[in-house]
Structure 1
Amino acid sequence: MSSSPGSSSTASPRLTIAQAMDRLVRGGLPLRFTAYDGSSAGPPDAALGMDLRTERGLAYLMTAPGDLGMARAYVSGDLDLSGVHPGDPYDALVLLKDNTKFRVPTPSEALLIARSLELSRLRPPPPPPQEHLPRWRRAVEGLRHSMSRDAGVISHHYDVSNRFYEMVLGPSMAYTCALYPTPEATLEEAQAAKFDLVCRKLGLQPGQRLLDVGCGWGTMVRHAAREYGVKALGVTLSLEQAEWGKEAIDREGLGDLAEVRHLDYRDVAETGFDAVSSIGLTEHVGVRNYPTYFAHLRDRLKPGGRLLNHSITRQHNTRQETGAFIDRYVFPDGELIGSGTIITAAQDQGLEVQHCENLRPHYASTLRDWNRNLVDNWDECVAEVGEGTARVWGLYIAGSRVGFERGEVELHQVLATRNHADGRSDFPMRPDW
């Protein structure tokens, strides 16, 4: 129908994608934002930028708000960051964390944004293949922290590619917080210092027996056998880790002292160990399972034996689920809690806690160096595991570094003893390491 003379018709106002995004951020976007519709927002001279390349990327952002939607768009390549390397997006994450405060739009603004972006026709796209099932759907793999389900989620994270881990972690193949004796120390020096500190805290002596649960690629086992002459057994749920560790033991001629088994720590039947080390396992155990976890490790020790528990912790002791990105892409079923809860659980199982130490700044440095390795080996890493997986790791490592720097997460080593029946701990009057 044509308009009658003298009448006027105006189209409903519409926002571009960039305008809509800018309106959702209090104070405006801190970086240069561009979108596939040709729109842009944010400072034109910004050193860092964000480019929304596809409608699928918009659908990811709009149908899964928060870190999950951003991660899906970024991992799939539908959202790009400029001014940073995908192997180390640290600078962009810091900028966004410090300067991005989302605001709740008014009802009229929300309607305008929804109409402008045609949100009614956006449907959630299939997630990238790197994404694990949500928690509620993992029930098909068994109860949370059952042996079958733990085996599945450990495989999801650790059985990526041994070659990929070699490039990111470096020759030490240590996927836990290092210890930097000086700020200038290399990653390899820091990892060696960490394992040596654990050995000294455990008071290892030639001829003793060590159990290392969640042993990874067997670095602790090999260090203890080579440097301290102990007979060391390591167990891991990752088949690829176990195979790599066995080959490393043979390569170094340590077969008479060191062993790595593909085994759940709960299936270790041997007892009478002089020491037990747990470096990076507690995060996968589940807080509700701490009593049985510490009881099992206690029972592996002989009286007078020592336990060193090294794990990521929170700055509080309130139960809190991990964020969607970490849970779906990095550590499915992972759980963190404060050091107080860990200490309490150990004490409740009859272990005497002798020492506790927070290495939080050291983990920030460790993550920095892992990002550097990923950047230096980016092309080979992408060829090995694909760009999507490499992006997951760059994002996860850089984001974790920010968390440790800001004190949102910490790293505690808790040293405890299984005492003799008469109360003797065989622990020195003062720490001797």
Structure 2
Amino acid sequence: MSTVLSLVEKKLASLPLPVQVQLPNGEIAGAPSPRIKLIVRDNATLLNLANGQTGKLGEDYVEGRFDFEGPMRDLMLLASSILEGSPVDEARGNAFTRMVRHVISVVRHSKERDAKQIQFHYDISDDFYKLWLDERRVYSCAYYAQPDYTLSQAQEAKLDHICRKLRLHEGERFLDIGAGWGGLLLWAAENYGVDATGITLSRNQHAHVNRLIEEKGLSGRVRMTLLDYRELDETQPYDKIASVGMFEHVGRAQLQGYFAKLNRLLRPGGLILNHGITAGGVYNAEVGAGMGEFIEKYIFPGGELTHIGNELIQIADAGLEDLDVENLRPHYARTLWAWSDALEAQLDAARATLKGDNAERSLRAYRIYLAGCAMGFENAWIAIHQVLLQHKPTRGRSDELDEPADLSYPWRRSYIYKE
């Protein structure tokens, strides 16, 4: 105990904010006037603190092995400060380790496993998500087109940002893969007049969006289906396709097949917008220091990240061309802090929405998850990219024209960023 305590005291002395720790025996270590206080209940947690195991500390909190007093943002400052090195510096590994990772990725992403993994996360409680998301329940990175935007304004700006990139027009067949609670699907239908199809593996989201479609009188040209993307019908290609916050669930081993499927679902001259979280490191599939394991265990089982460089390779191998690539990393940090702040402001109400024996553990996990991801985006351990795609050009296209008849994409970007 004395060795662990000395390591903890050494760690506390190096931190950029005053921290106090109440030890399992009731003794107090650290700053007399702290910004954050940790109430630790076992020695293993002290060791994780001393060794900078941020992800394991997250698990310790979820399992009740420590509590804290003070702002969540200060807890995250503490978490980032105790790290030993960067959590995205991971060796490439040899041929055998790469093969093992590939096999694991294949096994963990069958259609049955993916459905269970999606339902584990998204079907926890609609009322819980409603508390801290915006009114449309858009559960993906917002776009702060103006610095003073509220979360709701920034989410609407994101929805329109995607629609403008895709150049949606009235009557076009639009597909939203992983349509969530219907924010983009309904925005595109109501503001751009498209014939819209959404798919999800979440039963709660499926029921919620179909209620909204009925209430809004959109049953004739908007539909939401409980369906795996691999089962989408390819006989009637879509004019425009969006996939927002979904390809993180696909698995690295399935990425080429995923983009090849999108290729086959797109009509000639159509556009695809893929919006998803990417790895900050070139080779890592998750954030290190135990943070990736925390998310796998408590939040997103089966989630796998890849670097934007690898994403672009898979896109090219699948027969698609990247037209525009935008990194929205700072926008997601701000979005996540908005979600975290909203959850922290109503913890009792959030607790009441969660049922069963694991309700308190779930709430603790989401508190750490939202704030921890905000920290991850702030530090560039993870990023998020919107990539606009089309079929690879073939010989004979009239690309010298600004508006060629066989393409949907003009040379210049002004149409995307124009207010």
Q: TM-score range by the shorter chain?
A: 0.7 to 0.9
1:425 aligns with 2:407: yes
Distance in 2, Cα, partners of 1:396 & 1:275 = 33
Distance in 2, Cα, partners of 1:101 & 1:42 = 20
Offset of residue 341 of structure 1: 1.4
Aligned-partner SS, 1:430: coil
Of the candidates 73, 78, 82, which is equivalent to residue 90 of structure 1? Answer: 73
Deviations 1:266-309 (A, max 9, x none): 11114320011000111111112111100101111110010000
Distance in 1, Cα, partners of 2:3 & 2:37 = 17
Aligned-partner SS, 1:204: coil
Offset of residue 23 of structure 1: 5.2
Offset of residue 352 of structure 1: 1.8
Letter in 1 for 2:39: D
1:33 aligns with 2:16: no
Conservation of the 8 A alpha-carbon contact between 1:60 and 1:72: no
Query: 1:130 — aligned with what?
Result: none
| TM-aligned CA distance change 1:142 to 1:312, over 3 Å | closer
Query: 1:43 — aligned with what?
Result: 31
Query: 1:77 — aligned with what?
Result: 64
Conservation of the 8 A alpha-carbon contact between 1:283 and 1:335: yes
Offset of residue 98 of structure 1: 2.3
Offset of residue 192 of structure 1: 0.6
Conservation of the 8 A alpha-carbon contact between 1:419 and 1:425: no
Conservation of the 8 A alpha-carbon contact between 2:320 and 2:391: yes
Query: 2:255 — aligned with what?
Result: 290
Of the candidates 388, 410, 415, which is equivalent to residue 361 of structure 2? Answer: 388
Distance in 1, Cα, partners of 2:141 & 2:306 = 17
Tell me, which stretches of 5 or more residues in structure 2 are unaligned?
86-99, 398-405
1:253 aligns with 2:181: no
Letter in 2 for 1:286: G
Conservation of the 8 A alpha-carbon contact between 2:177 and 2:241: yes
Of the candidates 22, 28, 40, which is equivalent to residue 9 of structure 2? Answer: 22
Query: 1:379 — aligned with what?
Result: 348
Distance in 2, Cα, partners of 1:406 & 1:68 = 15
Of the candidates 188, 195, 201, which is equivalent to residue 159 of structure 2? Answer: 195
Conservation of the 8 A alpha-carbon contact between 1:18 and 1:33: no
Aligned-partner SS, 2:253: helix
CA RMSD of aligned residues (A): 2.7
Tell me, which stretches of 5 or more residues in structure 1 are unaligned?
1-13, 103-134
Deviations 1:385-411 (A, max 9, x none): 133211211111111111111111111
Letter in 2 for 1:22: E
Instruction: Write out aligned runs for 1:181-260 (5 A).
Output: 181-260=145-224
Conservation of the 8 A alpha-carbon contact between 1:17 and 1:39: no
Instruction: Write out aligned runs for 1:72-151 (5 A).
Output: 72-84=59-71, 89-98=72-81, 143-151=107-115
| TM-aligned CA distance change 1:263 to 1:100, over 3 Å | closer
Query: 1:349 — aligned with what?
Result: 318
Query: 1:306 — aligned with what?
Result: 271
Offset of residue 170 of structure 1: 2.3
Deviations 1:345-371 (A, max 9, x none): 112222121111111111011011101
Of the candidates 228, 231, 243, which is equivalent to residue 267 of structure 1? Answer: 231
Calculate the TM-score normalised by the size of structure 1: 0.81
Q: Please say which of residues 321-330 and 186-195 is displaced more in the overlay.
A: 321-330
Aligned-partner SS, 2:169: coil
Of the candidates 370, 374, 378, which is equivalent to residue 397 of structure 1? Answer: 370
Aligned-partner SS, 1:223: helix
Aligned-partner SS, 2:2: coil
Conservation of the 8 A alpha-carbon contact between 1:17 and 1:37: no
Distance in 1, Cα, partners of 2:257 & 2:84 = 42
Query: 1:111 — aligned with what?
Result: none
Offset of residue 81 of structure 1: 1.1
Letter in 1 for 2:353: E
Distance in 2, Cα, partners of 1:37 & 1:20 = 17
| TM-aligned CA distance change 1:19 to 1:51, over 3 Å | farther
Determine which structure has more spread, i.e. the larger CA radius of gyration.
1
Identity %: 36
Conservation of the 8 A alpha-carbon contact between 2:259 and 2:314: yes
Distance in 2, Cα, partners of 1:82 & 1:205 = 52
Distance in 2, Cα, partners of 1:72 & 1:396 = 11
Offset of residue 331 of structure 1: 1.5
Instruction: Write out aligned runs for 1:165-180 (5 A).
Output: 165-180=129-144
Distance in 1, Cα, partners of 2:46 & 2:258 = 39
Offset of residue 69 of structure 1: 3.3
| TM-aligned CA distance change 1:164 to 1:83, over 3 Å | same
Offset of residue 320 of structure 1: 3.2
Offset of residue 314 of structure 1: 2.0
1:328 aligns with 2:301: no
Aligned-partner SS, 2:107: coil
Query: 2:93 — aligned with what?
Result: none
